[in-house]
Amino acid sequence: MIILVEQDKEIRKSLADLLSRERLIGVDSIQESLQMILKFKNDLDLIVANVVLLSELLSKHIIERVCQRLSIDVPPIVGIYKEDDEEAKHRFMAEHKGYRIIRYGENDLGFPNRYLEAIQKACPELVIDYEKAREAWLKKQQPQELVDPRKWLEEEVVYIITSKEKDVFLQLESDKEREFLIEAFWKQRDPTPGTPENEFKEEHYRRINYANQWFGRGTSLSGWKTDRGKIYIILGKPVSMETYGEDIPVVPIKVWFYQKDPSSGLPGSFYIAFFQEGVSTSRLPTLRVLPGTVITLTAVTSTPNAFSTACLI
């Protein structure tokens, strides 16, 4: 396990993207780093740390004392300093000899190789994918697409945002405030807050993309606006999807079967059925939830994945 100690969240994420996330945990304080040493004492490969925090750890002999108490060797250590913080670098080098330190430059295309080579020398047994790391770094250099607050509210999270969150969002006056709320919105739903990835967010956008690809065909609606798109975005992929009545003169019906954890507020297993509407001059055919089988989906603030239910078949 690699412990990455860095206060700057963006730098911590950039560094984490260059290594296998299965073998890395990011923290932002000395106290958290010590907790991780205790937790992974038998599986600790390396510590990568900002030189300011690292200097404090070394000057007070904290790492040595903790490792001694745990009866383990002090792990290899690599220091990181920002390109505009030469003073911190010189101070560290004057106080601590023999440690590898690397300058971090967010626009430095040569940084990944220097960083990974230093890690490889400190811990030769680590398997490092240099090509994947370079791709991740180059991707980071590309301009990030700005979030459109209105599109985010009315399209991207319309099915999962709580009424309270929506009310707060609508009262905000600046884009900066909206950016903070959007960041907090996803952070609250992150199932693994100690890692660089937010699996909930990634899964949510995967569902939107899938809905737009498959459920808007032959209609005047985008896939996410259809009933099937809405259900798919909220509940995810069904255990099974069946279609009945395509070869006989009745209205075709599509039935999705779900199995959910009862603690989510849904039954352990249930079906949702969709049928094909007739052609209308004002609206192209689309799939609608069968009368009597609609479920009322209301987000719960304390558990964002939970929904209350009404009538199910």
- Looking at residue 180, its amino acid is F
For each of the domains in the chain, give its residue range(s) and CATH number, in order of start.
2-141 (3.40.50.2300), 149-188 (no CATH), 205-289 (no CATH)
The residue assigned the tokens 């009538």 is 311
CA distance 128 to 9: 23
Q: Is residue 42's pLDDT more than 50?
A: yes
Model's pTM, two decimal places? 0.50
What was the pLDDT predicted at 298? Answer: 37
Higher pLDDT, 121 or 303: 121
What was the pLDDT predicted at 21? Answer: 64
Residue 218, Ramachandran bin (φ over 0: left; ψ between -120 and 50: alpha; else beta): left
Q: Is residue 247's pLDDT more than 70?
A: no
Instruction: Report yes or no: 33 and 49 within 8 Å, Cβ to Cβ.
Output: yes
Give the mean pLDDT of the chain: 79
The first and second tokens of residue 191, run together, are 């199932």
